[in-house]
Chains A and B, each alone.
Chain A
Amino acid sequence: MNFDKELNARGLSCPLPIVKTKKALADMTSNQVLKVISTDTGSVKDMAAFAEQTGNPLLSTVEENGEFVFYMKKK
């Protein structure tokens, strides 16, 4: 999937992946796609919850080699 910006959140625990995602989105424009890579298992549910509550659509969540890759579109 194409993306405009990547956030490396490997090794970070709650709430850092969410807080850093929010900060990364702040620098982007509407409809751009942010790729987030996390190793925090809790981030799977948290990213979905973040998307739902902020209205930024979560396009996909994939687990690859013990890492979680999220694609989120800025609303």
Chain B
Amino acid sequence: MANKKMAIIATKGTLDMAYPPFILASTAAALGYDVQVFFTFYGLQLLRKDLSNVMISPLANPAMPMPVPMPVMVQMLPGMESMATMMMKQKLKKHGVASLTELRDLCLEADVKFIACQMTVDLFEFDKSEFIDNVEYGGAATFMGFAGDTDICLFV
């Protein structure tokens, strides 16, 4: 019997939105799915060799649990983004949640295929040498070739 298939479109490059694609992709691969993730727009940031600049902002993120209520005027101060990112990373570590790099490595180890959107790579003038090696480059039609035949297809 042919394996089940899952396709994900990853469009966000923030710390909170980086987790779902990698968690779902690594889990699906563990369950025996063939998985492809198509990275486009800000999702491309998740293909950088160095993920330490992936951040979370409290600004325009009103659902983010905060230790103390924080007015928007305070959230916009310099350094608040770094502080929120540091606190979120500490929380993730404390709860035994894998780092993004670790999850991405688990995906690659499990043969999850990463595809970078060529158009947005060109649009933002990204340097491919800053991306990990295990990436293919393609467009929407490349994605459809796989996505059209999947059991699960998600847009993150």
Residues of A within 8 A of B (CB): 11-16, 18-19, 21-23, 39-40, 50, 53-54
Q: Are B96 and A19 in contact (CB under 8 A)?
A: no
Q: Are B95 and A19 in contact (CB under 8 A)?
A: no
Question: Chain A residues with Cβ under 8 A from B32's Cβ?
Answer: 53-54
Q: Are B106 and A19 in contact (CB under 8 A)?
A: yes
Given known contacts A14-B23, A15-B23, A22 and B30 CB-to-CB distance under 8 angstroms: yes
Please tell me which one of the listed residues A12, A13, A19, A39 contacts residue B30 in the complex, with CB atoms under 8 A apart: A19
Residue interface bits B78-116, CB-to-A below 8 A is 1, else 0? 000000000000000001111000010010001000000
Q: B1-28: which have CB < 8 Å to A?
A: 23, 26-27
CA distance A16 to B95 in the complex (A): 12
**Interface range, B side:** 10 to 19
Q: Are B31 and A54 in contact (CB under 8 A)?
A: yes
CB closest chain-B residue, reference A25: B30
**Other A-B pairs, 9, CB within 8 Å; known A19-B29, A50-B30:** A12-B96, A12-B98, A15-B26, A18-B27, A19-B30, A22-B110, A50-B31, A53-B31, A53-B32
Counting chain B CB atoms within 10 Å of each CB, the highest count among A15, A16, A22, A39 belongs to: A15
Question: Chain B residues with Cβ under 8 A from A54's Cβ?
Answer: 31-32
Q: Are B96 and A40 in contact (CB under 8 A)?
A: yes
CB closest chain-A residue, reference B109: A23
Question: Chain B residues with Cβ under 8 A from A13's Cβ?
Answer: 95-98
CB closest chain-B residue, reference A17: B96
Closest chain B CB from A11 CB (angstroms): 4
Question: Chain A residues with Cβ under 8 A from B98's Cβ?
Answer: 12-13, 16
